[in-house]
């Protein structure tokens, strides 16, 4: 029997100490955000709330329809991990709902606080900043809400309102600044990108004796692969897996240094940045003349691509089919067309389970394809408990722009439900197609003293692919 996880110490109100670092002028100005809190910041924030309610008809519906039943309370990993009542989804959303009722409902406008709402004060703004950045936008609470309220949309609205008055996190704005300046979240310049690709090519040549390329800015290829930039440095086995897959399938492909990032942190700040970052991918695909866009192993990248790409920057009529494709979808198609051969013996000795990234499974509908790959390339594949997989998966605890060092305490507390589910599976490896999940699992395994490894689905596929000349 696996040992029980150690208890996580909790002091009432301790979550409030987990504050993401505030962005300064260096990161706010390049994104067109105020560098100082405007003198009329309350009025500006309320105007943005009005604008969002008009643009997104679901938002006022979500804010009006909550009956505070509490069905979501024990579904959030951050409430379960921290015990802080304000980390219950209903309470977190209530921080915005209170202001909405005070300023946008008839009762609130007529009788003020007696109408059940609260004014947007500096104290309320501080609560917003703390707790809306302790939400990973995983949407697990929405699965269990009898009213169908998507609390992640409330979190997104609160963050966009705060950003409009210059209140945003350093982590998210710094990443977005790098994307616009360099083309990827990690700030990797083109020369370093090319050098890294060449290094991995040498690694594959040494392993296989075959020249397997990682093309850069190649024109006229069939596929533009858009990986998370972390795969080039932090997760090189994932990048190798991509390369082996395309090589074995005989499919021409390329990466782009202009759009070298699958992740779209605009999803964690505002609609404008979501659109701008997404446009880089579409522009790169048109410029390089590819016929397909394939997204790499990143959870929220898939949500941003499959849910928003066409409506934000389409039509994608130059693609065939006219939509982005996930790398797991592509791999399954290559397997079904018998364009690649795999040998699961290459992964013998590994007891592998699978973690559904929230934005792939719950928000992106990509559930069976990764499992189909794993069943083909791993002999000892086992599922976590049914109530923690697929649409009901627990978040790793670091999504939604929470993968910041200063949030490590709340991240580790939020990871506890997932760590318990992993241990119950008896596996010693967890495979997941998400760079953020990989980083979080590695940290959580160390924190909870679990002897296990996290790998990408493409890592295991790359090991199992039979490479021929």
Quick one: average pLDDT of 285-289? Answer: 98
pLDDT tens by residue, 252-268: 999 999 999 999 999 99
Q: CB–CB of 169/132 below 8 Å? A: no
* pLDDT for position 469: 72
- For position 463, what pLDDT does the model report? 98
On the question of pLDDT at 442 being above 90, the answer is yes
Backbone angles phi, psi at 103, to 5 degrees: -105, -15
Could you tell me if 95 and 132 are in contact, meaning their C-beta atoms sit under 8 angstroms apart? yes
- Angle at which helices 170-182 and 271-288 cross, to 10°: 20
pLDDT in tens, 110-151: 666 556 688 999 999 999 999 999 999 999 999 999 999 999
Q: If you average pLDDT over every residue of the chain, what do you get?
A: 94
Bridge partners, residue 292, by sequence: 223
Both structure tokens of 140: 């697990």
- What is the band of 9 on the pLDDT scale with cuts at 50, 70, 90? very low
What confidence tens digit (pLDDT) does each residue in 37-57 have? 999 999 999 999 999 999 999
Q: Which residues of 12-28 are buried (b: 16+ CB within 10 A; e: fewer)?
A: eeebeebbbeebeeebb
Angle between helices 236-249 and 190-208 (to 10 degrees): 70
User: Which among 194, 176, 192 has a CA at the least distance from the CA of 184?
Assistant: 176
Reported as a single tens digit per residue, the pLDDT across 91-114 is 999 999 999 999 887 666 666 655
Asked if residue 358 lies in contact with residue 143, where contact means CB atoms within 8 angstroms, the answer is no
For 34-167, CATH number?
1.10.1060
CA 372 to each of CA 328, 405, 430: distance values in angstroms, whole numbers, following the listed order: 9, 34, 15
Give the bridge partners for 431, in sequence order: 354, 455
The CATH number corresponding to 344-464 among 3.40.1350, 1.10.3470, 3.40.720, 3.40.50 equals 3.40.50
Mean pLDDT of the region 187-192: 96
pLDDT of 453 reads 98
Tokens at 77, concatenated:
């990993």
pLDDT digits (tens, 9 = 90+) for 16-28: 778 999 999 999 9
Residue spans per domain, the chain: 34-167, 188-336, 344-464
pLDDT above 90 for 429 = yes
52-66 average pLDDT score: 94
Q: What is the pLDDT of residue 10?
A: 38
Task: Name the β-bridge partners of 224.
Answer: 254, 293
Query: Tokens in use for 322?
Result: 């006219």
Cα separation, 135 vs 147, whole angstroms: 20
- The alpha helices in 250-293, defined as continuous H runs, are 271-288
What is the percentage of the chain residues whose pLDDT exceeds 90?
90
117 vs 87 pLDDT, higher one = 87
Helix axes 41-55, 58-65, angle to 10 degrees: 100
For residue range 385-417, list pLDDT tens digits in order. Answer: 988 899 999 999 999 999 999 999 999 999 999
pTM of the model: 0.93
Q: What share of the chain is helix, strand, coil (3-state, %, to 5)?
A: 55, 5, 40
How far apart (Å, rounded) are the C-alpha atoms in residues 322 and 317?
Answer: 5
Tell me what the mean pLDDT of segment 200-210 comes to: 97
Average pLDDT over residues 301-305: 95
Those residues whose C-beta lies under 8 Å from the C-beta of residue 286, and which sit 6 or more positions away, are: 318
Report pLDDT digits (tens) over 343-383.
Answer: 999 999 999 999 999 999 998 999 999 999 999 999 999 99
Nearest alpha-carbon partner for 71 in 140, 154, 156, 13: 140
């Amino acid at each position: 029997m696996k040992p029980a996880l150690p208890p996580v110490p909790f002091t009432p109100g301790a979550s409030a100490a987990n504050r993401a670092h505030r962005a300064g002028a260096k990161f706010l100005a390049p994104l067109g955000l105020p560098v100082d809190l405007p003198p009329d910041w309350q009025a500006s924030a309320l105007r943005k709330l009005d604008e969002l309610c008009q643009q997104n008809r679901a938002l006022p519906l979500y804010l009006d329809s909550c009956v505070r039943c509490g069905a979501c309370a024990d579904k959030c990993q951050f409430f379960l991990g921290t015990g802080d009542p304000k980390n219950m989804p209903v309470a977190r959303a209530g921080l915005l709902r209170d202001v909405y009722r005070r300023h946008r409902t008839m009762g609130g406008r007529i009788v003020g606080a007696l109408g059940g709402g609260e004014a947007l004060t500096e104290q309320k703004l501080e609560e917003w900043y703390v707790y809306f950045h302790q939400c990973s936008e995983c949407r697990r609470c929405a699965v269990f809400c009898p009213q169908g309220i998507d609390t992640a949309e409330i979190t997104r609205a609160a963050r966009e309102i705060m950003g409009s008055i210059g209140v945003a996190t350093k982590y998210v704005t710094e990443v977005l600044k790098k994307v616009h300046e360099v083309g990827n979240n990690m700030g990797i310049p083109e020369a370093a990108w090319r050098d890294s690709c060449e290094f991995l090519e040498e690694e594959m040549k040494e392993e296989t004796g075959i020249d397997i390329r990682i093309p850069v800015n190649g024109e006229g290829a069939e596929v533009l692969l858009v990986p998370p930039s972390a795969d080039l440095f932090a997760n090189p086995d994932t990048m190798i897996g991509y390369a082996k897959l395309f090589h074995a399938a005989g499919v021409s492909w390329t990466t782009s240094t202009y759009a070298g990032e699958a992740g779209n942190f605009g999803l964690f700040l505002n609609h404008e940045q979501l659109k701008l970052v997404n446009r880089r991918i579409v522009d790169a695909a048109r410029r390089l003349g590819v016929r397909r866009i394939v997204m790499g192993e990143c959870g929220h990248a898939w949500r941003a691509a499959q849910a928003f790409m066409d409506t934000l920057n389409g039509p994608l009529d130059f693609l065939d089919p006219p939509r982005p494709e996930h790398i797991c979808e592509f791999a399954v198609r290559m397997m079904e067309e018998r364009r690649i051969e795999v040998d699961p013996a290459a992964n013998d000795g590994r007891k592998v389970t699978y973690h559904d990234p929230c934005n792939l499974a719950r928000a992106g509908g990509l559930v069976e394809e990764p499992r189909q790959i794993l069943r083909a390339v791993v002999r000892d594949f086992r599922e976590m408990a049914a109530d923690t997989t697929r649409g009901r998966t627990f978040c790793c605890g670091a999504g939604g722009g929470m993968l910041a060092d200063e949030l490590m305490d709340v991240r580790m507390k939020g990871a506890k439900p997932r760590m318990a589910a992993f241990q119950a599976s008896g596996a010693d490896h967890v495979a997941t197609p998400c760079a953020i999940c990989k980083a979080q699992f590695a940290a959580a395994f160390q924190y909870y003293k679990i002897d296990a490894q996290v790998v990408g689905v493409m890592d295991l596929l790359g090991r199992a692919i039979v490479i021929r000349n």
